Structure 1
Amino acid sequence: MQPTGSAGLRILFVCSSDLRSPSEKQVLWLSTHLAAAGHRSLISLRGDPDSARTEGAEGIEGVELRWHRFRGRRLSREDRAAAAGFRPDLIHAWNPRVPVIAAARSYSGATGAPVLVHWEDDEWGMPRAHTAEGTLRRTGQAARRAVARVQPSAWYLATEASIEWAASNSVAFDALTPILADYVRERTGRPCAAILPPLPSSPPGRAATGPELPDWATGRPLVALTGALLRGRLDDIRLALRGAAAARRRGADLVFVLAGRNLTGIEPGELAADAGLGERDFIFLDHVPYPSIPSLLARSAILLAVSQPTSLNVMCLPSKLQSYLVSGTPTVLSAHGAGELFEDRREVLKLDRPDPDCLGELIAALLEDPELQRILSEGGS
């Protein structure tokens, strides 16, 4: 691909949420790395514009942000004009979901730039995993999918139509993991390159101050899990909580720290209590802005990226993993899916099966093994 000017490529990234979301942080990190190499990026987002401030995305040379809005099936005239003024060489749709494809299609029509589609999940399985409970809620979901044909912002997942557009009109596909790339090739009949995501970049000009913790946690090892709490991930969250409780029963004086927006409708304290953790064994921090995440990870003794071996988890790469690996804090990672990309007991400590007692044994043993902590700290980072 030949850039339009002498200053490198100009890439327009199309996202589905704001910068509090993990996928959008990956786009921000990639754009920051591209800027360092002399390229320019325009990130088109939806959601809360203030997330640019809280997540440290302001003031990055070579990275512009835009908060797009739909007017019917297309983006607003102002959005399309801004894209034309940016003169992108490439439009990178960050997934094939309805609002992203609709925005990418609109931008491509306004600029003539080709569209590259990124795959980060099993988009065919996501709707099943996000099916609402109860007839009324399922009816509401069906209604929103129907409305999305004329108002793309009404639905947030991929549909057969959005995937078909991506397969028929994009110039290329890329996927987050080799397993997912193979799956996309099989389902679409299109080539798909596996491109691992960039490592996190430090927000410019922001102090790395972590969240305050209660006094009773002082001096106790922190076992941390970060990321939004979603109903589709409840089994993964429960696995981590029960593993920490199993480690406590083995004598580990740990504190489990859970950081992320709670979108489950269930009190995190109830989840912790059901898992067997006491009131002073568990801290819920809610959403922690990204500039404070590195400090929290560095203060922790162990980071958890464990999950059930569902098709979604096997194919995806936990977005938290990049930050975990550069933190220098030992990470316990499930062996399936992304776990296959790492060396056990050097880069990560692998959990072979989703059993809380096995996880508790790993956590307790790691807390008592300074040499393994050192190896994982050096190997992971």
Structure 2
Amino acid sequence: MTAVAPQNLHSSNPAHSVNILFVNYGDFTANSLNHIGLFARALAARGHACVVAVPSDKETIRVIADPAFAPMTYDEVLASPRCFPDGRGADILHAWTPRENVRRFAVAYRHLVPGRTLVHLEDNEDHLLSAMLRCRTDELRAPAGLQRADLAPRALSHPVRSRAFLRVADGCTVIVDTLREFVPAGAPVLTLPPGVDFSLYKPQPADPALRAELGLRDGEKVIVYTGSNTFANEHEIRELYAAVALLNARGVPTRLIRTGLFSTKFSEPLPAEWSAQVVDMGFVEKALLPKLLALADALVQPGHTGAFNDYRLPSKLPEMLAMGRPVVAPASNVGRLLRNGLDAVLLSHGSAEEMAVACQRIWADAALAGSLASNAAEFARTHFELGAISDRLESFYRDSLAHPARIDAWGGWREAETELSPALRALGVGDSAAAELAYLEHLAGREWADWQSKWQVAVEQLATAEKALALTQQHATNLAGQVEQLQSREADLTAQVSHWRQNFETVAEDHRLASLHIAHLDREIVRVREEGEARLQALKQTWSWKLTVPVRALRRFLQRCGVRC
């Protein structure tokens, strides 16, 4: 599959069109596609060609309305690396996070096609990994932590491999400025917040028909949360459920409308009365989200400051702000730019009590609710305007292409090697990365040994297969002889059957003729019997027969008496 042809495609000169390969860590239902999809649309409108590669489940592209990019899987791109309309590969590979599946794909692709590699940061990756492994972040690089990290899902970042990936990249983009602390010193970096589609996410009245369809009662307050639960945010969402329960307990009828994918592990332990206060809509079409957000009396993003929220920007938060509804959010990430009490009500610790009090404060003060709503919409238009952000991204791409690639020879490694130790050696890293380099050298050696072991197994399997093939060929020869004998026997039997068929046909004809003759004889017997009967009856009517009746009777009597006459 090739990328969607850009408008006004000129040439391979970076001053004109650019081939951009976005590499996402998940399929097309992932929240990051909200950002990637809009950037691809803006870049395609500027004449660039975009491909978005996902690990699997390409069919999930159905959730993206009119994508301005070519959807492909990792395997498809690696099988056809020059997949753009001009027959070239990617000028820019934009790795959306340094997670292990993305990193491995990026290394494999750069083995095949040279170009610039940029890495986007949108989370504190070490925090996510430590939350998954249930350990402290400072334990991740200890021997035991590294062993566990090696076994972690590839949709998470490796604590050493991801940093090596950032070191060899040509630049980084970060969703919030706090993530710059993870960018290697001296590397080009751009703060890249998401853009918002203001044709969809904008102030609009609530739809009474939708409210009735969802069973919302008159006078019932509505909170809308459009996001899935993960191992990282389960506690925060549980606090939101508890806040809704508190509001109802305090005599403020409140319903939570929630969309997204929620695991049964999260939902089953919840108190029954909590679940009764929630409208669970599951995964919904993106076009429905603005209508649901418009139902809200308050839009609440649960959470608090800390290692998780300080380094991310919840994808739903810009859309919440754009809807022109009062917003409650943590004093973290975007909350650092929001004015508390003016643009939003900010949470310090994100407890259920704090969220419930914030909502009551908003609903008790119509003037406050109105100013929060209008200021939130203005903040969104100022900070998340897609055109301006895309301009900066396009300039960042062009600046990257204008400078030499950080790694010239991605393809100079051994075929099986996916570790980045050769690149770090080529860059001549200093003491600060010596430990990382040593560990990567260890991983590379282990990977090479594993590859050689697998190669030896493959050679042995091939030898076994060749022996099996030889036996199969001999067996096939034997079978061919047997088939030839069977074919000869079949010819003989066919001849015999033909002879028998001819004999049968002769016998059948004789039988037919005999049947006809027998039928004729049957008719003759009947005719003779009938004629004899007729003559006998006629004779019995003559005088001579009648006059001789006594004579015949006497004759029969004498015969019975034994007299010959």
Q: Whole-Å Cα distance in 1 between the matches of residues 376 and 12 of structure 2?
A: 36
Answer yes or no: is the 8 Å Cα contact 1:230–1:264 preserved in 2.
no
Match for residue 191 of structure 2? 194
Q: Deviations over 1:209-264 (max 9, x none)?
A: 97985324465321011211112211111221122222223332211122110136
Shift of 1:51: 2.2
Shift of 1:334: 0.8
| Residue 286 (1) aligns with residue 287 (2) | no
| Residue 131 (1) aligns with residue 133 (2) | yes
Q: Whole-Å Cα distance in 1 between the matches of residues 56 and 321 of structure 2?
A: 28
| Residue 349 (1) aligns with residue 348 (2) | no
| Residue 34 (1) aligns with residue 35 (2) | no
Q: Whole-Å Cα distance in 1 between the matches of residues 228 and 296 of structure 2?
A: 18
| Residue 155 (1) aligns with residue 161 (2) | no
Answer yes or no: is the 8 Å Cα contact 1:298–1:329 preserved in 2.
yes
Greater share of helix residues, 1 or 2? 2
Q: Of residues 302, 318, 321 in structure 2, which corresponds to 1:322?
A: 318
Answer yes or no: is the 8 Å Cα contact 1:211–1:292 preserved in 2.
no
Q: Deviations over 1:40-97 (max 9, x none)?
A: 32111133323221232xx34x422212228xxxx6423x242693543211101001
* Aligned-partner SS, 2:21: strand
Q: Whole-Å Cα distance in 1 between the matches of residues 285 and 295 of structure 2?
A: 16
| Residue 179 (1) aligns with residue 185 (2) | no
Shift of 1:375: 1.5
Match for residue 247 of structure 1? 247
Q: Of residues 106, 109, 119 in structure 1, which corresponds to 2:108?
A: 106
Which residue identity lines up with residue 191 of structure 2 in the other structure? A
Shift of 1:184: 0.9
Match for residue 302 of structure 2? 306
* Aligned-partner SS, 2:126: coil
Match for residue 235 of structure 1? 235
Shift of 1:7: 5.1
Q: Whole-Å Cα distance in 1 between the matches of residues 108 and 217 of structure 2?
A: 51
Please, which runs of 5 or more residues in structure 2 have no aligned partner? 1-10, 136-144, 201-206, 378-565
Shift of 1:291: 1.9
Q: Whole-Å Cα distance in 2 between the matches of residues 352 and 146 of structure 1?
A: 36
Which residue identity lines up with residue 120 of structure 2 in the other structure? H
Please tell me the root mean square deviation across aligned C-alpha atoms, in Å. Answer: 3.1
Which residue identity lines up with residue 82 of structure 1 in the other structure? C
Q: Whole-Å Cα distance in 2 between the matches of residues 127 and 195 of structure 1?
A: 23
Which residue identity lines up with residue 277 of structure 1 in the other structure? W
| Residue 53 (1) aligns with residue 66 (2) | no
Greater share of strand residues, 1 or 2? 1
Q: Whole-Å Cα distance in 2 between the matches of residues 17 and 315 of structure 1?
A: 20
- Name the CA shift for 1:210/1:155 in 2 (closer, same or farther; >3 Å): farther
Q: Whole-Å Cα distance in 2 between the matches of residues 301 and 11 of structure 1?
A: 41
Match for residue 98 of structure 2? 96
* Aligned-partner SS, 1:248: helix
- Name the CA shift for 1:272/1:324 in 2 (closer, same or farther; >3 Å): farther
Answer yes or no: is the 8 Å Cα contact 1:32–1:201 preserved in 2.
no
Q: Whole-Å Cα distance in 2 between the matches of residues 201 and 13 of structure 1?
A: 23
Which residue identity lines up with residue 122 of structure 1 in the other structure? N
Answer yes or no: is the 8 Å Cα contact 2:198–2:322 preserved in 1.
no
Answer yes or no: is the 8 Å Cα contact 2:260–2:284 preserved in 1.
yes
Q: Whole-Å Cα distance in 1 between the matches of residues 293 and 338 of structure 2?
A: 20
Q: Deviations over 1:262-298 (max 9, x none)?
A: 1362326x4364xx6362x221112222222111111
The structure showing larger relative contact order (alpha-carbon pairs under 8 Å, at least 6 residues apart) is: 1
| Equivalenced residues, count | 349
Q: Whole-Å Cα distance in 2 between the matches of residues 220 and 4 of structure 1?
A: 59
Q: TM-score, normalised by structure 1?
A: 0.81
Which residue identity lines up with residue 26 of structure 2 in the other structure? S
Match for residue 16 of structure 1? 25
Answer yes or no: is the 8 Å Cα contact 1:177–1:317 preserved in 2.
yes
- Name the CA shift for 1:312/1:282 in 2 (closer, same or farther; >3 Å): same
Q: Whole-Å Cα distance in 1 between the matches of residues 46 and 218 of structure 2?
A: 42
Q: Whole-Å Cα distance in 2 between the matches of residues 164 and 352 of structure 1?
A: 31
Shift of 1:121: 0.8
Q: Deviations over 1:125-155 (max 9, x none)?
A: 221111269xxxxxxx99996479xxxxx62
* Aligned-partner SS, 1:322: helix
Q: Deviations over 1:11-62 (max 9, x none)?
A: 1111011121111221112212223333332111133323221232xx34x4
Q: Whole-Å Cα distance in 2 between the matches of residues 193 and 123 of structure 1?
A: 18
Q: Whole-Å Cα distance in 2 between the matches of residues 174 and 350 of structure 1?
A: 27
Q: Who wins on radius of gyration, i.e. which is larger?
A: 2
Q: Whole-Å Cα distance in 2 between the matches of residues 364 and 36 of structure 1?
A: 45
Match for residue 138 of structure 1? none
**Superposed, which structure 2 residues align to 1:64-83 within 5 Å?**
64-69=70-75, 76-78=78-80, 80-82=81-83
Identity %: 20
Which residue identity lines up with residue 124 of structure 1 in the other structure? D
Please, which runs of 5 or more residues in structure 1 have no aligned partner? 134-140, 149-153
Q: Whole-Å Cα distance in 1 between the matches of residues 26 and 210 of structure 2?
A: 24
Answer yes or no: is the 8 Å Cα contact 1:231–1:263 preserved in 2.
no
Answer yes or no: is the 8 Å Cα contact 2:211–2:295 preserved in 1.
no
Q: Whole-Å Cα distance in 2 between the matches of residues 377 and 18 of structure 1?
A: 33
Answer yes or no: is the 8 Å Cα contact 2:92–2:116 preserved in 1.
yes
Which residue identity lines up with residue 265 of structure 1 in the other structure? K
* Aligned-partner SS, 2:336: helix
